[in-house]
Amino acid sequence: MEAIEVQALGRSFSYYEKAEGLRGSFANLFHRRVLVKQAVREVSFSIPEGATVGFLGPNGAGKTTTLKMLAGIMPPTSGTARVLGHLPWQRRKDFRRQMAIVMGQRSQLWPDLPARETFSLNRAIYELDKHEYRLTLDELVETFGLAKLLPVQVRRLSLGERMKMELVASLLHKPKVLFLDEPTIGLDLLSQRAIRDLVRTLAARWGTTVMLTSHYLSDIEDLCERVILINHGRIVYDGELTGVNATLGDRKTVHLDFSQPMELRELQNEPGFRAAEGLGADFELARSQVRDFCQKALAAWPVGDLTIGEPPLEEGIARIYQANEGE
């Protein structure tokens, strides 16, 4: 069964052009030119229950706008969507009790109060059974190691601690659909890992459907088998994560570790050279060139170790975006 169904969803924003200088400001009092920004353009996709899907795009691509429409924060200007069978922007009580959205740059916590006060408020808002609420809260607090921080004012918490509290607040009612917009932004590696570990268990234990945006591709690679790429408000790729690098065709990467320093000029003259740092160098070659290149490198250079791999995920994503720049 599909948890999220989106059909030709669109959202545009109108704003006024501001003329330059005092003369322009005076002229704007009598006549203003209306401009329209098409943030999301005929977006269509569906996500089955219990899936974790990455939703990626460059800044301004329409990711957050799409999530806001699916969470019911703003209505679309065209198209439609169903989340758990509901029209999100109708904001019906039954819908709100089954979804949650966490935005890395927005907070639902009261900054001058301890987070546990927000937790208690959410229990009342969602009309949660006190015993069930306590069990869920204790489980989440233990997962993140937050017990000692519950009495601390939110504004005195670090960014990572506050983000964990945001997740706890959003998960107390065990939502069936969870929208995560940059949940690990600005966090240290340990905090990122803790949040990824929690998200990974949501589908397994609660059957939660998760839609995740992140600029950290390690989040996506660790959690998602499927990704949806959006650029200029349009879907440019929807499929398996492993399929992203199919855009690179038969390309391979070769990393060489040398046993002694090499002349940078000598490496740069080699076809496929990408970068060199310390005693290591990276090359990108066609698959058919890899064997000859490796044989030549081993014979001519002091190679201590050699690794052949796939181009990084970032390369495939960048190629897809570039292919759609003119559309």
Res. 327: pLDDT tops 60: no
Q: Express each pLDDT in 262-273 by its tens digit.
A: 888 889 888 889
Q: What are the backbone dihedrals phi and psi of residue 290, each rounded to the nearest 5 degrees, phi first?
A: -65, -45
pLDDT of residue 194: 82
Q: Which residues contact 213 (CB under 8 A, 6 or more apart)?
A: 54, 55, 56, 57, 63, 64, 67, 180, 181, 182
Mean predicted confidence (pLDDT) in 158-163? 86
Mean pLDDT in the chain?
87
The ranges assigned to domains in the chain are 2-245, 249-313
pLDDT grade for 246, boundaries at 50, 70 and 90? low
Higher pLDDT, 247 or 300: 300
Question: Which overall architecture, per CATH, does domain 2-245 show?
Answer: 3-Layer(aba) Sandwich (3.40)
pLDDT of residue 169: 93
Most confidently predicted of 23-27, 32-36, 257-261, 320-324: 257-261
Most confidently predicted of 80-94, 241-255, 311-325: 80-94
Among 40-49, 72-81, 100-109, 240-249, the minimum mean pLDDT is found in: 240-249
Say which CATH class 249-313 falls into.
alpha beta
Mean predicted confidence (pLDDT) in 203-218? 85
Choose among 234, 214, 227, 239: nearest CA to 79: 234
Q: What is the edge-to-edge ordering of all strands in the sheet holding 2-16?
A: 34-48, 2-16, 78-83
Query: In this structure, which amino acid lies at residue 17?
Result: E
pLDDT of residue 7: 95
Do 2-245 and 249-313 have matching folds?
A: no
